[in-house]
Amino acid sequence: MPTIPSGQPPLPQQESHRAREIAESFGVDAERYDRSRPRYPEAMVQAIIAAGPGRDVLDVGIGTGIVARQFHAAGCHVVGVEPDERMAEFARRGGTEVEVSTFETWDPAGRTFDLVVAGQAWHWVDTVAGAAKAAEVLRPGGVLAPFWNVSQPPPELERAFADVFRRLVPDSPVGRIPTGSALQLYASMCDKTSDGIRQSGAFGEPQQQQFQWEQQYTRDEWLEYSATTGATTRLPQPLLDQVLAGLGTAIDAAGGTFTVQYTAAMVTAVRKIS
């Protein structure tokens, strides 16, 4: 399910950073977020590390620390920036240094890094200002790497999920997204991210790359995940319960388990040396 905000039309990627009430809503249940959100392909993590000049990482929008833990496990030192204190506190419990701020206003205090990464978060950052800030904190030859997981459930279930939102949350964009279009939406997001990087003038030509993988879900696992998306985090609890019950009914009718095809979509750019 694309994590597009509930209650309004999909925001252009260059404007979504203004929707702070949505961007900072994911900490409503940080433990569930951390437990249910998918991780990222190890091949992608290794590709980012191999592209950089070292292993000092700044994680923008660190959330609960999912990305940070993967880079820690690969031998990196990670510092996080996160606007939601609830998410930041959860990540700190995992051993990562986290500072509470939006990235655009964050004070690096003279620190520099080899890699600036952002998992499922860069669309909440002003693309041009964010790229300029990344260039400020990256060492020459350092790499900026925003990336997203794009989930693609089986088409028949995706249609059933959309029907639930159309019935219960008629103003949610989830019910209006064409089946099978999630990857196109994120491809557009990657294009806008690349444009912002170009406009900063501080990087070489952005490169886009995709990594495919899949994950099987039970009914309860998908409902846990579904409660953490931008389509649901601000719903009143009674309405959220109805949405989750509707999704659960659809999954039961499909046999109770299913496989989601994932694509990790990534943009990378190297900071110019001079």
Residue 229's φ and ψ, nearest 5 degrees, are -90, 165
- CA 273 to the chain's CA centroid: 29
Q: Which residue(s) pair with 149 in the sheet?
A: 264
Among the residues of 74-138, which ranges form H helices?
A: 85-93, 127-137
Instruction: Give all domains of the chain, ordered by start, each with its CATH number.
Output: 15-152+179-214+259-271 (3.40.50.150)
Structure tokens at 168: 């219960």
Q: pLDDT 10s per residue in the chain (274 long)?
A: 333 333 333 334 445 544 456 667 787 899 999 999 999 999 999 999 999 999 999 999 999 999 999 999 999 999 999 999 999 999 999 999 999 999 999 999 999 999 999 999 999 999 999 999 999 999 999 999 999 999 999 999 999 999 999 999 999 888 788 877 888 989 999 999 999 999 999 999 999 999 999 999 999 999 999 999 989 999 999 999 999 999 999 999 999 999 999 999 999 999 999 7
Cα 143 from Cα 108, distance rounded (Å): 17
C-beta of residue 104 within 8 angstroms of C-beta of residue 121: no
pLDDT for the residue numbered 16: 52
Reference 149, options 52, 65, 260; nearest CA is 260
Residue 84's φ and ψ, nearest 5 degrees, are -100, 115
176: exposed, middle or buried (Cβ count in 10 Å: 0-12, 13-18, 19+): middle
DSSP 195-246: HHHHHHTSBS--EEEEEEEEEEEEHHHHHHHHTTSTTTTTS-HHHHHHHHHH
Q: Which residue(s) pair with 60 in the sheet?
A: 81
Cα 175 from Cα 64, distance rounded (Å): 28
